[in-house]
Amino acid sequence: MADLPAANAPTWPLQLLNLLARRVHRTGRAFGHGHWWQGMPGVLRPHADWEHLVFARDPQLAPVTTPAGSVEFLQCVAATAGTIAAFQDDERAGRGDAALARLLARAPLLISRTTVG
């Protein structure tokens, strides 16, 4: 990956982290496996179709226990409005993590493809 001059560095990753941190601080609820975040337009630029996030256990990092407690590693996966709608539908229908299971079946390493081809 080429080094970008500071003036050209994208700002959206920091804005996103700030939004997520404020949400956790404000509500007191941390994100966990199967949770989703319905984003705000423009946050995940430059990929306008990927405005939402799904949180899932990292498939390659096992939970660890430390003297301070246990840690579960999560991935934050970019998602489209259609993916979030599927999560909402499954939640309303009481189907648990069905949408997450479908997502994991399509992308076991939870890598979002923002381009086709």
What CA–CA distance (Å, rounded) separates 10 from 103? 27
The model's pLDDT over 57-111, given as tens digits with 9 standing for 90+, comes to 998 999 999 999 999 999 988 888 888 888 889 888 988 788 888 888 887 787 7
Residue 79: burial class (beta carbons within 10 Å; 0-12, 13-18, 19+) = buried
What are the structure tokens assigned to 10, written together? Answer: 């994208």
What is the reported pTM? 0.75
